[in-house]
Structure 1
């Protein structure tokens, strides 16, 4: 095990396009880390995330975050904003200005 992983402090995880937190849960389990902030604009998903990670701040829309004020992390994870490429979505694709184009 590396010195970093055996540190007394858990890895700090930041999460983008977090959804309900499935990826976060897996990464926390695999690394022993803890999610310290997340970024999600879908209200129902953010409520589920907040229920499972009480007190962890939601930074909201990644395009409006002042990154200079965000607490530092060791690991950055992110889901894929798939609404525009999903078969149940509007088919907007990966073009600039779309959610999936982020």
Structure 2
């Protein structure tokens, strides 16, 4: 495992709710990342750890390989890959996201 992959793995496994996004929770730098934060807050997530991939090109590329998922944002709950903002919205609307967050 490369240093970047190890760093990503450590972040994913050491944070209950981990969101890799463009920008920060306070200042998202893309619409999908902003939507992901809004969905998480609406679902009742309180302890959201974020990583701004725009500040680290290695992580920006590495996260796509880590989950074999081509887009950002990417959400992980309890070390498990959940998906991007579209999947988050579907899960929120069905109640699955709230359940996953509650179980975390």
TM-score when normalising by structure 2: 0.27
Q: Which has the larger radius of gyration?
A: 1
Q: Which has the higher helix share?
A: 2
Bigger RCO (CA 8 Å, 6+ sep): 2
